[in-house]
Amino acid sequence: MIGDQNNESDHSKSNEGKRNSDFIHAVGEEQISSIGRGLCVLLGISVEDTQKDVDYMVRKILNLRLFEDENGRAWSRSVMDRELEVLCVSQFTLQCILKGNKPDFHSAMPAELAQPFYNNMLKQLREAYKAELIKDGQFGAKMQVLIQNDGPVTIQLESPAGPTDPKLLSKQEKQQQRKEKTRSKGPSESSREKAALRSKADPSASSGAEGDVSSEREP
């Protein structure tokens, strides 16, 4: 999931945000939504996104410290700290992959799946924050989005991706199994193995039991 966050002075690639001072969201001549000071979040949903991606993006959108505090110190307060507004706009073009000079959007989640996914994210944002401060546009509509970006400040967020290739998954599982085996070994056994490795690496080295640390012998 990719998201852009735009800071207005008035986010499973997935979510971008911009800090803006004024934001109007319109379809044709009809105004659909608007906010004052806060964040405009442009959200690109991937075919691979899951609930974990939603949880990550919701947490980051609400807690990123993109605003100044009461003393004017920058990067000190989040949108929740300042009780500012958030406007979310679904934007599948964030999942663009260029094939030569032509954009390809096959990595974006299909609209029939993306809409309930997007609505679920809005629901979580409203539950985690103040519902009346979370605004959104019209899913799937052709819109004119007017953004007054303060700074300008634009932050790109991308939810952490897990491996989807079976080979990568198998490799990850084997690494995890090795870690678990290492943890299960007792400290004494681990110490003996390390000592044995040192002995094999330098067979002529003294154990130091009698204080002799030199490998040289007098004739």
pLDDT of the residue at 20: 56
Compute the distance between CA of residue 14 and CA of residue 54 in angstroms, rounded to an integer.
10
pTM of the model as a whole: 0.66
pLDDT, tens digit, for every residue of 69-91? 999 999 999 999 999 999 999 99
pLDDT, tens digit, for every residue of 88-118? 999 999 999 999 999 999 999 999 999 999 9
12 within 8 A of 53, measured Cβ to Cβ = yes
User: How many other CB atoms are there within 10 angstroms of residue 161's CB atom?
Assistant: 14
pLDDT of the residue at 53: 95
Diameter of the chain by CA atoms? 102
* Average pLDDT in the chain: 77
Q: Pick the most confident of 1-5, 10-14, 133-137, 211-215.
A: 133-137
Q: Which is the catalytic residue, given 93, 154, 164, 182?
A: 93
Least confident stretch, 11-15, 41-45, 141-145, 156-160? 11-15
Q: Indicate if 50 belongs to the active site.
A: no
Compute the distance between CA of residue 143 and CA of residue 138 in angstroms, rounded to an integer.
8
